[in-house]
Amino acid sequence: MPKARISGMGVFIPEKVYDNAYFETIVDTSDEWITRRTGIKERHIAEPEDYTTDIASRAAQNALDNAGIKAEDIDLIILSTVTPDYFTPNCACVVQKNIGAVNAAAFDLNAACSSFITDMVTASQFIENGTYKNVLIVCADVLSKATDYKDRGTCILFGDAAGAAVLSAAEDGEGLISYELGADGAGCLNITQLAYREDAEETEKRVSGRKETVWMAGQSVMKFAVKAMADSSNRILEKAGLSYDDIKLVIPHQANYRIVDSAIKRMGIEKDKVYLHLEKQGNTSSSCIPVAIAEAAGKGLIERGDKVLIVGFGGGLTWGSAIFEY
Ligand code: COA
């Protein structure tokens, strides 16, 4: 059975930065509050003319270059976003056009911030069953377009970014070793962004009244996130017969330092096993994890053959975790 291994990674991070001092000028907040409650200092923000498919296409092209694979050799594109340019066409088709991946099937997959793990698990099925050789996964969000900049409880959290990975069929190595995907639909209204649905209560919750902006019940999400991330990680390790000692790096969804800190205490691991960039990038939804993998690899923190554990949670509510051989 072929294994699905990462053959290349690509990212796109916008240049413009909103630091905590900027938020002090637009809402009633302080650098001290934001730092203490979230760990975030800066977030990168896309230019107004840049949409999800624009930054997604740049990250996708970077991943192809990094993998040394031609666009025509991609068999499938899976794209994840909660800020699509259109309801139709899907964003994956737009990226297919932009990068010239003329032989690729293309669809979008939405598991919110848990999407990269969900994409990786989905892509691996197609590779392991022999259907496809090269699958391009792209996670991209311009959350700045879906942020209510009048709501101090959410606007300080989000940044824009895109991260992409090419998964390719390999005869050697282990590929995806263990994983779990989960959902708690009962908690679905804890994080919302509305499309066609008219809901007076949801509109009322938003300071600006813009129903397409992200709203969340912060405390409930925090409690869910800590348990979901820690317990899911522990379960997939046990399933694989591994321990944290076998894992080179744990890369969690980068939502809030306090969530990560509580989760790793529950996992029983030290901070130096965990990769974090949230201080510099904030929460970039599904892009957090692929961007973090690319950064960690670029810094030499993970090398070929190392086992990496990724774990995330998000709207839905969803969660996911995976152990793979880099
Ligand atoms: N600056 C100053 N005060 C703020 C503030 C800000 N930016 N945002 C909220 N507050 C205030 C609240 O109004 C509240 O004031 P009150 O006590 O007078 O009512 C107080 O701080 C506490 O608010 P609370 O929401 O309980 O704070 P918190 O400790 O839960 O932190 C979050 C808020 C949003 C940072 C935190 O809940 C969080 O990160 N949740 C998870 C969100 C997440 O991960 N979402 C991503 C899903 S992928």
Per-residue pLDDT of the chain (326 residues; tens, 9 = 90+): 999 999 999 999 999 999 999 999 999 999 999 999 999 999 999 999 999 999 999 999 999 999 999 999 999 999 999 999 999 999 999 999 999 999 999 999 999 999 999 999 999 999 999 999 999 999 999 999 999 999 999 999 999 999 999 999 999 889 999 999 999 999 999 999 999 999 999 999 999 999 999 999 999 999 999 999 999 999 999 999 999 999 999 999 999 999 999 999 999 999 999 999 999 999 999 999 999 999 999 999 999 999 999 999 999 999 999 999 99
The CB of 113 under 6 Å from ligand 1? The reply is yes
Do the domains 176-325 and 3-170 match in fold? yes
Q: Ligand 1: distance of its center to the CA of 218 in Å?
A: 6
Q: Which residue CA neighbors atom 7 of ligand 1 most closely?
A: 152
Q: Which residues are identified as catalytic?
A: 113, 253, 283
Q: Which residue CA neighbors atom 42 of ligand 1 most closely?
A: 218
Residues 6+ apart with CB under 8 A from 32: none
Residues 254 and 110: their CA atoms lie apart, in Å, by 18
For the chain, which residues make up each domain, given as ranges?
3-170, 176-325
Q: Both tokens of residue 144?
A: 């700045």
Residues 270 and 250: their CA atoms lie apart, in Å, by 10
Cis peptide before 249 (omega within 30 of 0): no
Instruction: Report the residue count for the chain.
Output: 326
Q: Is 36 exposed, middle or buried (0-12, 13-18, 19+ CB in 10 A)?
A: exposed
Q: Among 3.60.130.10, 1.10.3720.10, 3.40.47.10, 3.40.50.10860, what is the CATH number of 3-170?
A: 3.40.47.10
- pTM as predicted: 0.97
Q: Which residue CA neighbors atom 2 of ligand 1 most closely?
A: 29
Residue with tokens 């839905």: 316
Q: Which CATH architecture has domain 176-325?
A: 3-Layer(aba) Sandwich (3.40)
E strands, 93-159, are 105-108, 134-142
Sheet holding 160-170, edge to edge: 3-12, 160-170, 134-142, 76-80, 105-108
Q: Which of 229, 16, 257, 12 has its CA nearest to residue 139?
A: 12
Residues 17 and 281: their CA atoms lie apart, in Å, by 9
